Copies of this chain bind each other. A is one copy, B any other.
């Protein structure tokens, strides 16, 4: 599985050039042009490295850095700055950056530093741990025992299919997943059941976990596509 990098740079041509180069090195790259977009990414996903331009519209890189560090002490941050040196560097490191590169920079150099920093990433080491207990709202799912605690603390014994489907939806949380994707992953390669089967499982989940099954909060339908599991 590839390492993930978040690239925050407002200048389009530079951003795209860097992104392209990182992708050719087989990193998965998400890019943002503004600080707010960057923060949204960060609150939704996990990265192995964040590359951050100091000079951004709206919000400067230092402030973003600080905000990131409030939530996440680990992901390495690499600063890009146009200024010559000294002051920015100190400021950056003080605010929680890990490394620092002066624009205009040499691409080779960037790639080298990226490599070093990504390796350092803590998450990189602890990433693949299987999820055992997952909680959302007042609900709890224990994948090890296949038991769940749902509405009003009620215990539910989950079946295999239920567990697998829940697992998939949770992995994909926040994202829309099509019925095709669901069938393909949960049912694997044997001949699929009709997609209506999926709806019935969702029906069960809503019964277990939704305070008001008619107005679901976690197990959302996306008309014409499939479903979306939401955490909050």
Contacts and interface: CB of A to CB of B under 8 A. Distances in A.
A128 B172 contact: yes
B131 A45 contact: yes
Contacts of A24: 90, 93
A24 to B, nearest CB: 7
Interface string A168-197: 100110111010110111000110000000
Interface of A: 1, 4, 6, 19-20, 23-24, 28, 30, 32-34, 37, 40-41, 44-47, 71-72, 74, 90, 93-94, 124-133, 135, 140, 144-146, 159-161, 168, 171-172, 174-176, 178, 180-181, 183-185, 189-190, 222-225, 228
The 3 A-B residue pairs whose C-beta atoms are closest, nearest first, are A30-B130, A160-B224, A144-B175
12 contacts: A1-B124, A6-B130, A28-B129, A45-B128, A46-B180, A47-B130, A71-B180, A71-B225, A125-B184, A126-B185, A131-B174, A144-B176
